[in-house]
Structure 1
Amino acid sequence: MLQDRYTLAFREYPYRRSADQDAASPVRHPVVIVGGGPVGMTAALDLGLKGVPVLVLDDHEGIGMGSRAICVAKRSLEIADRLGCGAELVERGVVWNLGKVFHRDRKVFEFNLLPEAGHRYPAFINLQQPYFEKALVDRLRAARAQGAPVEIRGRNRVEGVAQTDDGVILEVLTPDGPYTLAADWVIACDGAASPVRNALDLGFEGRVFEDSFLIADVKMDAPFPTERRFWFDPPFKSGSSALLHKQPDNVWRLDFQIGWHVDREKELRDENVKARIDQMLGPDIAYEVVWKSVYTFQCRRMKTFRHGRVLFAGDSAHQVSPFGARGANSGVQDVDNLAWKLALVLDGTAPDSLLDSYAAEREVAADENILNSTRATDFITPKSETSKLFRDAVLELSEHYPFARPLVNSGRLSVPCIYDGSTLNGADGLPGGPARSRPGAPCPDVPLGDGFLLDRLDGRFHLLTVDTDAPERLEEGGVAVARLALSAADDPSGALAARYLGDADAAVYLIRPDQHVATRWPAYDADAVRLALRRAIGRD
């Protein structure tokens, strides 16, 4: 069964006693990451590839059991590609761009999440979370063999956290007993029940939704197409709403909305889970249930993601409903934002106030995700008869009238946040430039004949020039900027001009290490670029 592979084949970092446990005084580490899930391992890999010594503490000995998060969004794939494992994820996963929405027994409309060409990665892949984590751990192991200073300690559970004037003290429990560590910085990626957050007596603000959903991962040979299918009031009556998704290994994710006042233990009994699945699939499809869970979801976050020298990311910082695949994907984007900033702070290039921009930018992203997730949840689970009448009317209209389709909300699927208004942005100096590549936006990909644009934006600051000249290298405040010179004439697809020039004849973009635009101009100006670079590293 898949459960056996999750628990046995993925036991990646068994407990071993470390020298720190026998030290006379707490050993100090530059960065300690608490939590070895996809967010913690992404952070460790990103920092390790930048040469930052990292210690990962995880309370397990490897990859967690159960598929859990399955939808890996395009932006997460682009981040994984920059870190060296994006292609492997796509090869392992199930690629999909198409979604269909049904009301009772009728399809009301369908949508394509990536209708334009010219991107290396699809809108989404479906891949069980253990496989995502395994790819990150394998890549970390390869990076360590090449000198990346990353250590992972399994069955090292953080039990206590205390901040000092210049660092953090961690009390860690192991099978051999407790020991104490010190850290310059701590990144808490330890999940919704975050022991780090609890140790600092910090909480969440937001909503808990009074509804329950049953998830079942089912292994079967089925004739269903590779697409996202969502039913409101499904005719098979397995739940008030239902979702069907394909995963690798002939495993399918089934979600059923089962209501608030339910007996969870009873719902998880094999015979009751099977009864719901049988209603959905019918009598002719044989299957095996390989994982199941009942969950209630929440849309909430910490008031701020930075507390002194402790930085929170992923579910430890924010929680959203699963509709829209905004949980793990937003966590990966958290640490994509954080890693380059922390690296610059650690080497003295940037002041530690740069980390305040991590909190500010990702708190805005969390609010955006929570807003979209809350709206989806309210549409899927109307709280009054009037709300249900409105929802059903929208669904009826959407079958025949395009104007109603944007109102249907079965989960606005994850897209990256644009950091409009960030203190790191310069003013937009490119008249007529495309809105999709404005300051604060993630760089849209472009085919370049021998690859793609994002292949060349490799975790450093870059100066992208399109049909204009600039020096090959620029340095300001200890930060080197590499130039990437392109011409719209060399791109027969027209994507470069459409995505970076718009109505302009030429453009210069200052691009951050996380592939977000810092600012842009119609031509190179040395003083303007230096000023924008200082602003982007928090020195302005």
Structure 2
Amino acid sequence: MVGATYQLAFELYPYAKVASQDLPPHRHPVVVVGGGPIGMATALDLGLKGTPVLVLDDHDGVGLGSRAICFAKRTLEIADRLGAGQAMVDKGVIWNVGKVFHGPDKVFEFNLLPEEGHKNPAFINLQQPYFEKFLVDAVRRAQANGAPIEIRGRNVVTGLTRHDDHVCLDVDTPDGPYQVEADWLIACDGARSPVREMMGLSFDGRVFEDNFLIADVRMTADFPTERWFWFEPPFKNSGQSALLHKQPDDIWRIDFQLGWDIDREAELDPVKIRERVDAMLGDDAEYELEWTSIYTFQCRRMKEFRHGRVLFAGDAAHQVSPFGARGANSGIQDVDNLAWKLDLVIKGLAHDTLLDTYSEERVHGADENILNSTRATDFLTPKSEISKIFRNAVLDLARHHDFARPLVNSGRLSVPCAYDGLSLNGADGLDGPSCTRVGAPCVDAPLSDGFLLDQLPGHFTLLAINTQLPELTEVDGIELQKLRLDTSADDPTGALKERYLGTAECAIYLIRPDQHVAARWTRANASDVRSALRTAVAKRS
């Protein structure tokens, strides 16, 4: 069921026949399959770097239904770098506070971003069609400024043939089939990835038997903009758990845990859905059903995300349960990791072994998300009476004791992945804050003129705080952006010192294009930086 909320200019990239459909296959540096949020972000990131990219999508605009709605701070920071973040924040519902209930009683509440000094909030709620639309809007602006991005709607990939130096795609259109060649193919075509199926690749993990009903309702209500989650909710026919979130346009997301062995057709009957919603909101509540769906928890991933000249991202590579908002958010982190690496490879500035580290780092991230999602699922849906007794005992303790609250798991909400101990990490010569350790994403901080992350726009950057920068402008053709800050002049709140220096008086950071810390020192010379940057692009000699 779809209401007017989701009628968002669906023909954002309507089908049009291109001349190359009647010619021998044309070779493209990069072809992205899938025009959802992950595919569009990939195309935008590459295009802004000057790498030509073609997007093939089987539709001609944004998808239906709200689906993903929770977008985390790290996703908004990446979207900022791509030119779409502010529109998302302006439209989205900002929230930092969540409340956990057991039956009718509040167990505790939490604040995901209690500290000041960040440009972006901990989370926004924003229907996925809006998220996609703002990315497409950013693509259009980039195209107008010369970014080499092409989108072809209603171009369905039906087959592929892999060669040593390219991939050949069979594409079907309203005007018949044609072929496209790609030096590099990026599959962003969802959890049921046709590209993955065509290649016969496995997608292993756990499929949980519990079922959950999503009901997006339109209503005017004075509930606060918080995440409310109930274990064993007091509402009639609401199942083992329930979740309430506010979205833009007076839309509220409600999740009900239905249990096992359900009749899906019966559960999707609007009459039965209304019975559940009425029990939660009250019989006198006035609302309209906008969109409904039933889903099961699935935690799966591919063994590797790179297969020769084919790379997988987003749900095509890994899938997690929705509680915790780790699906779309982790997919955007895939984009953030892959685009700069592929760009360097295409420009001849790095060997293609750098792309193996895309798989290394993002498999690490996927495993972290799957672990958290699996633990959340097991806590939400106890598989035995003893497990349920333990779960409820934890909830009872959490009402009165802080130590028990970290044990409560209503979905560990998405946080950025740190690549601890992985192969691209350089020296950590600073006994500094853990939050900005080597492998971690940079933490934002207010400066006297704006915010720190706005000064890290997608290049290798050498950041010096209270010290001089080494005399170095490039390494093996890779340009270094330089940023020098002084806490006495540039740190009005003290957050920069707290988050990047700790007890140290000065520091130098080498920061990757995806804003992860590649290396850090109290002081460094050109040789130190050169060695760390070569490590960061997988050059070992």
Structure 2 length as normaliser, TM-score? 0.98
Counterparts of 2:470 and 2:83 in 1: how far apart (Å)?
29
**Cα 1:296–1:127, aligned 2, differ >3 Å: closer, same or farther?**
same
Please list every run of 5 or more consecutive structure 1 residues that lacks an aligned counterpart in the other structure.
Answer: none
Report if the CA contact (8 A) 2:57-2:152 is conserved: yes
- What amino acid sits opposite 1:524 in the alignment? A
Report if the CA contact (8 A) 1:469-1:524 is conserved: no
Report if the CA contact (8 A) 2:231-2:242 is conserved: yes
Identity %: 68
Aligned to 2:104: 105
Report if the CA contact (8 A) 1:472-1:483 is conserved: no
Alignment of 1:171-182 (within 5 A): 171-182=170-181
Aligned to 1:315: 315
SS in 1 for 2:210: coil
SS in 2 for 1:9: coil
SS in 2 for 1:311: strand
SS in 2 for 1:252: strand
Aligned to 2:409: 409
Cα displacement (A) at 1:299 = 0.4
Counterparts of 2:148 and 2:227 in 1: how far apart (Å)?
40
Does 2:259 match 1:230?
no
Cα displacement (A) at 1:433 = 0.8
- What amino acid sits opposite 1:52 in the alignment? T
Report if the CA contact (8 A) 2:448-2:492 is conserved: no
Counterparts of 2:417 and 2:519 in 1: how far apart (Å)?
16
Counterparts of 2:127 and 2:269 in 1: how far apart (Å)?
23
Cα displacement (A) at 1:473 = 4.9
Report if the CA contact (8 A) 1:473-1:482 is conserved: no
Aligned to 2:327: 327
Deviations 1:34-73, CA, capped at 9 Å, x for gaps:
0001000000000000001000000001000000000010
Alignment of 1:52-71 (within 5 A): 52-71=51-70
Counterparts of 2:76 and 2:4 in 1: how far apart (Å)?
27
- What amino acid sits opposite 1:293 in the alignment? S
Counterparts of 2:333 and 2:25 in 1: how far apart (Å)?
32
Does 2:382 match 1:360?
no
Length, aligned pairs only? 538
Counterparts of 2:215 and 2:476 in 1: how far apart (Å)?
53
Cα displacement (A) at 1:178 = 1.2
- What amino acid sits opposite 1:215 in the alignment? I
Counterparts of 2:506 and 2:204 in 1: how far apart (Å)?
46
Aligned to 1:422: 422
Cα displacement (A) at 1:7 = 4.2
SS in 2 for 1:470: coil
Aligned to 1:210: 209
Counterparts of 2:349 and 2:481 in 1: how far apart (Å)?
17
Alignment of 1:132-147 (within 5 A): 132-147=131-146
Report if the CA contact (8 A) 1:118-1:445 is conserved: yes
Counterparts of 1:114 and 1:10 in 2: how far apart (Å)?
35
Cα displacement (A) at 1:373 = 0.5
SS in 2 for 1:211: strand
- What amino acid sits opposite 1:367 in the alignment? D
Query: Which sits farther off after the overlay, 398-407 or 94-103?
Result: 398-407
Counterparts of 1:52 and 1:251 in 2: how far apart (Å)?
39
Deviations 1:486-539, CA, capped at 9 Å, x for gaps:
112221311111110112111000000000000001112110100111111121
Aligned to 1:457: 456
Report if the CA contact (8 A) 1:84-1:139 is conserved: yes
Aligned to 1:261: 261
Counterparts of 2:160 and 2:107 in 1: how far apart (Å)?
52
Alignment of 1:85-124 (within 5 A): 85-124=84-123
- What amino acid sits opposite 1:170 in the alignment? L
Cα displacement (A) at 1:6 = 2.8
Report if the CA contact (8 A) 2:35-2:55 is conserved: yes
**Cα 1:390–1:144, aligned 2, differ >3 Å: closer, same or farther?**
same
Please list every run of 5 or more consecutive structure 2 residues that lacks an aligned counterpart in the other structure.
Answer: none
Query: Which sits farther off after the overlay, 157-166 or 63-72?
Result: 157-166
Aligned to 1:130: 129
Report if the CA contact (8 A) 1:518-1:532 is conserved: yes
Aligned to 2:80: 81
Counterparts of 2:285 and 2:449 in 1: how far apart (Å)?
45
Report if the CA contact (8 A) 1:466-1:488 is conserved: yes
Does 2:272 match 1:272?
yes
Cα displacement (A) at 1:472 = 6.5
Counterparts of 2:492 and 2:34 in 1: how far apart (Å)?
46
Counterparts of 1:8 and 1:224 in 2: how far apart (Å)?
26
Structure 1 segments of 4 or more deviating over 3 A?
Answer: 1-5
SS in 1 for 2:458: coil
Aligned to 2:344: 344
**Cα 1:502–1:8, aligned 2, differ >3 Å: closer, same or farther?**
closer
Cα displacement (A) at 1:239 = 1.7
- What amino acid sits opposite 2:309 in the alignment? R
Structure 1 length as normaliser, TM-score? 0.98
Alignment of 1:368-387 (within 5 A): 368-387=368-387
Aligned to 2:525: 525
Counterparts of 2:249 and 2:478 in 1: how far apart (Å)?
46
Counterparts of 1:101 and 1:402 in 2: how far apart (Å)?
14
Counterparts of 1:68 and 1:492 in 2: how far apart (Å)?
40
Counterparts of 1:340 and 1:128 in 2: how far apart (Å)?
28
